[in-house]
Structure formats: structure tokens, C-alpha cells
């Protein structure tokens, strides 16, 4: 199965800086059939970068979008408007859930809107440190997974990517600590079992499941070899071209 390496730039880089970074990254990486490289710039940079991107080497993603196709939603951008600019969209990221109060209703509507507009949703799920400590991880992951996919048909489920990103392991979280490969393997297995029970064996086996949480060049190899994991959602390390390129090269070596 193909590996996916997703770089979430969050609210970093101006339009000019984004262009310079993309040029530098594209010089550093090669095109790999076995590895899909995806970068998610800020919204203002998407249009100019869509003219610059070498789609043989990488694809663009949005960090979020409004599920309504059009209407009186001042300051928002719809999936319909992003169609043709991006191939992917990150949906339900923990920062959207926590800082901007994205509800389960918003997230499942966004997943449906992405699919409706031929954009692949990268659905993020993950528990807080408190939920992790009290043994509620499986319950939270199941609720977020099935909630986010509740409007997705059996025919469309193959077009979805799942990203498990435990909030307690994200480097920007106070007191964050690394998730162990065994912990990640357990959740990946649980996600696939839940998908199998809901959508069938093929979905459970073939839907890409990514891991995100303080990923860097030194631990990427260990995370990429976790059973059931097909790629990485990278935050801070994706802002440094050398580090991100190293993670991409690691993914290629793991695939080989």
C-alpha cells in the first residue's frame, strides 16, 4: 500500500515564504510512486502554489474548509471553491476541534462536502491526555471515527484517509510526550476493526491510516513500521525542508 506523508504548515509562512519553501522542497525530493507527499499551506498561499507545484512530486491540501457549497458565510471558503486547487483537505484536526469548537456535525458535513467536490478528506481523530489517562481512548476514537464518517457511503469510504493524532503527543501541547509504537499499533488495529465492522473487510484492510504527534526525522522510521500505519501527519518538522525531505526519504526506504 502507498505511504502518505502530509506536512501541515498551520499558520506559518507568508505567500512569498511559502513559494520559496516549496521551490526548495521540490528540489530536494524525488518523485516516488510508493509515497504520496502532501503539503497543507495556509489558505492565502494555496492559489499561487497551485500554479507552482510539481504534481509528480507532491500534492496540495487545505487545512480546513466550510461544508456549505456557497452562501452568506463571511470569511469562509468552501470545498467547492477549493476544487481544482487541492487534492486533499485536513478535517477535524485537534486544533479545529479545541480552538475553533468544530462540532461532530461540522466535521461529518465537511467530510461529505469534500467527497462531493472530489477532494480526499484526511479525517483526524485522537484523544486528550485526560481521556488517555482514564482509559477512554477507544471510546473517543470510535465516536470521532464513526461520527466523522456517518454520512459516507460504502461506495465512498475508499476515498477517505484517517489520521490518528493523540492530542497528548502533539509537540505544541503542554507536557506532550511521545506515543509508543505499541500504543499506536493498538489504536491502528482498533480503527481498522471498527472500519471492518462498519464498512466491511476491504475497507478495514485498505483505508490508509496515518499517525501524527511530534513526528520528526529521528522517529519517523519507527512510526512508519508500526503495523497498520500507512503514513505520517507532520507538523513542526514539515516547516524545515531538510527535515521534511528526510522523512519523505525514510518513507521511501520503508516501502522498499
Catalytic pick among 131, 165, 246, 249: 165
Catalytic pick among 36, 93, 131, 132: 93
Residue 140 above 80 pLDDT?
yes
Q: Residue 95: pLDDT band by 50, 70, 90 thresholds?
A: very high
Q: Which long-range contacts (CB under 8 A, 24 or more apart) does 66-71 make?
A: 66/110, 66/113, 67/106, 67/109, 67/110, 67/112, 67/113, 68/113, 69/113, 69/116, 69/117
Residue 174 above 70 pLDDT?
no
Terminal alpha carbon distance of the chain? 11
CA 249/CA 243 separation, integer angstroms: 10
Residue 85 above 80 pLDDT?
yes
Averaged over 221-231, what is the pLDDT?
A: 97
According to the model, what pLDDT value does residue 170 have? 84
According to the model, what pLDDT value does residue 193 have? 98
- Which DSSP state fits 104? H
According to the model, what pLDDT value does residue 172 have? 56
CA 34/CA 255 separation, integer angstroms: 7
Bridge partners of 122?
90, 161
Q: Is 202 a catalytic residue?
A: no
CA 211/CA 233 separation, integer angstroms: 6
Q: Considering the entire predicted model, what is its pTM?
A: 0.96
Residue 68 above 80 pLDDT?
yes
According to the model, what pLDDT value does residue 177 have? 81
Q: Is 93 a catalytic residue?
A: yes
According to the model, what pLDDT value does residue 176 have? 59
Amino acid at each position: 500500500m502507498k505511504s502518505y506523508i502530509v506536512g501541515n504548515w498551520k499558520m506559518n509562512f507568508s505567500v512569498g515564504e511559502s513559494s520559496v519553501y516549496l521551490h526548495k522542497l521540490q528540489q530536494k525530493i524525488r518523485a516516488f510512486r510508493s509515497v504520496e507527499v502532501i503539503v497543507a499551506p495556509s489558505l492565502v498561499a494555496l492559489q499561487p502554489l497551485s500554479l507552482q507545484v510539481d504534481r509528480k512530486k507532491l500534492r496540495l491540501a487545505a487545512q480546513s474548509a466550510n461544508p456549505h457549497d456557497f452562501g452568506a458565510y463571511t470569511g469562509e471558503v468552501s470545498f467547492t471553491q477549493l476544487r481544482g486547487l487541492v487534492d486533499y483537505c485536513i478535517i477535524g484536526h485537534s486544533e479545529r476541534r479545541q480552538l475553533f469548537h468544530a462540532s461532530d456535525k461540522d466535521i461529518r458535513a465537511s467530510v461529505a462536502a469534500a467527497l462531493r467536490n472530489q477532494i480526499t478528506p484526511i479525517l483526524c481523530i485522537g484523544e486528550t491526555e485526560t481521556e488517555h489517562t482514564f482509559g477512554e481512548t477507544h471510546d473517543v476514537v470510535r465516536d470521532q471515527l464513526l461520527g466523522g464518517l456517518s454520512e459516507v457511503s460504502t461506495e465512498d469510504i475508499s476515498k477517505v484517509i484517517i489520521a490518528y493524532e493523540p492530542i497528548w503527543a502533539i509537540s505544541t501541547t503542554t507536557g506532550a510526550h511521545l506515543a509508543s509504537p505499541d500504543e499506536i499499533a493498538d489504536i491502528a488495529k482498533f480503527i481498522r476493526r471498527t472500519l471492518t465492522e462498519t464498512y466491511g473487510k476491504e475497507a478495514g484492510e485498505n483505508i490508509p491510516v496515518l499517525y501524527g504527534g511530534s513526528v520528526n526525522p529521528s522517529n519517523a522510521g519507527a512510526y512508519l513500521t508500526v503495523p497498520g500505519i500507512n503514513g505520517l501527519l507532520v507538523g513542526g518538522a514539515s516547516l524545515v525542508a531538510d527535515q521534511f525531505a528526510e522523512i519523505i526519504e525514510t518513507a521511501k526506504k520503508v516501502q522498499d
